[in-house]
A = this chain, B = another copy of it.
């Protein structure tokens, strides 16, 4: 049951992601979604609110996609962690979200356009990233890796680095680079601390 509101947010997300937030006018979103202007302003107080709704949709959709990819890749928590980078590669190659291609991370882009840390869009971006770290930390715990929170932060940093590199330099292979680095760091964590307490 797709409402007019859903059409609007869906189209907005697509255009904001591809062309940027400030560069995308409301008229274009209305034209491509086939929704009337008054309908938009009945559902949203302003363009800013539409931006936030689009980012919320993106957060939900991206994390669902990533977690599904990782969960279908393997049942073993450690392999599941490493499979994040295979999922990233799929994304970088434009095969993850139909109709979208790869234009970097919508939240890194949002933080770039709305540089002020207090801006709602920037805060939403920070939350999105934190949620992913939380998920990685949970997997690290399941894998009984030492210092799971610390390792989760490391893996998240690798993910961000891969995204930025893949986008700015047009290098989808950054996903594999990051994967290799992750393997080294996980092994180091196991060896350096309490992995094998034999």
Contacts and interface: CB of A to CB of B under 8 A. Distances in A.
Interface string A104-133: 110111011111010000100110011000
B113 A113 contact: yes
A129 B178 CA distance: 17
Contacts of A185: 181, 184-185
A188 interface: yes
Contacts of A159: 161
Task: Give the contact-size bracket for chain A.
Answer: 35 or more
A9 to B, nearest CB: 20
Contacts of A154: 177, 180-181
A62 to B, nearest CB: 14
A39 to B, nearest CB: 26
Contact of A129 (B20, B109, B169, B181): B169
Contacts of A168: 107-108, 111, 122, 125-126, 129, 160
A145 to B, nearest CB: 14
A18 interface: yes
Contacts of A111: 104, 167-168
A18 B108 contact: no
User: 7 shortest A-B CB distances, which residue pairs?
Assistant: A161-B161, A109-B112, A22-B22, A157-B161, A160-B164, A112-B112, A160-B161
Given A22-B22, A125-B168, 7 more contacts: A20-B112, A109-B115, A111-B167, A158-B181, A159-B161, A163-B164, A164-B164
